[in-house]
Amino acid sequence: MKDSISVIIPCYNEEKHIERCLTSIIRQSTGLKYSFDGTDRDKIEVICVDDASTDGTTAILKDWEKRYPENIRVIINERNNRQGAARNIGIQYASCEWISFVDADDWLEPDFFEKLIKKSHDNTYDIVACNYAEDTSAELSYFEAGDMDGKGKDVFVTDDMVRKEVFREQRFGKVYPSIVKRHFLTGHRITFPERLMYEDIYYKELLHMEISRGAIVNEKLYHFYVRPEEEKRVSDVMSYADYLTIMMLLWKEWGRRGYFSKYENELTAEFIKVGYIGFLRMLFSRKDVLPYTYFLLIKELVLTLTPAADKKHYLKNSPYFTDFQKLWISALWRDVDRDDFDKIVEATIEAGGI
């Protein structure tokens, strides 16, 4: 079904936000059965996967399904398996040419799908993405006209050098904001880890190693909701364990797919940037003391998987790492006792973080 879009929304205890999200989809300028060049196209289908919500989310979703029975489908999980599993279920049920992942607390500009689909007509793309912006609005609101030109930019992976650049820059964002060909995802076996947090890291890393043809619309069309402090979900020990598990799964999957034969340097740098520096950044976001034991844990993981990385000069000279990130990287290959660790932490905090 050309130009059709399956919108997949994982939902867990989102009674405060899900209606705003759905409203922004229903109000798309394309309509639910939209028209390009005077020709009616197939529908937008919205697949809401309720991941065993315990609040009023399920009732809200069922009400929307009754109001829009041809466009909204609600799938209810009896057990909470987190967003990764919900998205995988959505992919299984999707029937359209394109898939778009939208989080239940986020929302779209009215012309999100119109502009991405219009750009998709220019070539045969695996993915068409746009820009997003953080938004603290409590109600449905839209961006004011900005200085972005809205023009599209093509990214064609024609050789290994371009592949390395696309992977290093992660040009196509996270799980959002984009439309991605359903057959691209299924053909390259790109799925999400289940029952774990941070599943989006795994997904985006594989996506950027498999994309051959993509496009970016230079316009903010997606609202990423930033929750007020009282609504934020605090990281805990289990979330740290999930992060480390995701990174181990990703490293193994890179190896299973044979990426290391061509891209060992790039993969090692990315693992240290996302797995090590990313994990430390998460720890720095805590309100209490940075745990030394977690530093030792992530250090052991990195050294186990990348034992020769200290000999890679590009890690020390890379422009993609800040000076303080390089300081933490150097700490991987030297003894750091508790006092040394506290000094590095203090200096990093004074510098504004990692």
3-state secondary structure of 178: strand
Q: Where in the chain is the domain with CATH 3.90.550.10?
A: 5-231
How far apart CA 292 and CA 221 sit, in angstroms, is 41
In tens, the pLDDT along 23-50 reads: 999 999 998 875 555 566 568 999 999 9
In tens, the pLDDT along 277-312 reads: 999 988 887 756 678 898 999 999 999 988 776 666
**What DSSP element (H or E) covers 8?**
strand 5-11
Q: Phi/psi at 196 (nearest 5 deg)?
A: -135, 150
**CATH, domain range 5-231:** 3.90.550.10
**What DSSP element (H or E) covers 277?**
none
Give the CA angle between residues 246, 189, 155 to the nearest 5°.
90
DSSP structure class, residue 321:
S
**What DSSP element (H or E) covers 68?**
none
- What value does the mean pLDDT of the chain take? 90
- Strands (DSSP E) contained in 51-186 are 72-76, 98-101, 107-108, 127-135, 152-156, 178-181
| pLDDT tens by residue, the chain, 354 residues | 688 999 999 999 999 999 999 999 999 999 887 555 556 656 899 999 999 999 999 999 999 999 999 999 999 999 999 999 999 999 999 999 999 999 999 999 999 999 999 999 999 999 999 999 999 999 999 998 765 556 678 999 999 999 999 999 998 988 999 999 999 999 999 999 999 999 999 999 999 999 999 999 999 999 999 988 656 565 577 888 999 999 999 999 999 999 999 999 899 999 999 999 999 988 887 756 678 898 999 999 999 988 776 666 667 677 788 888 988 998 998 899 999 999 998 888 888 888
How far apart CA 329 and CA 339 sit, in angstroms, is 17
Beta strands 33-36 and 72-76 are unpaired
Do the Cβ atoms of 159 and 248 come closer than 8 Å? no
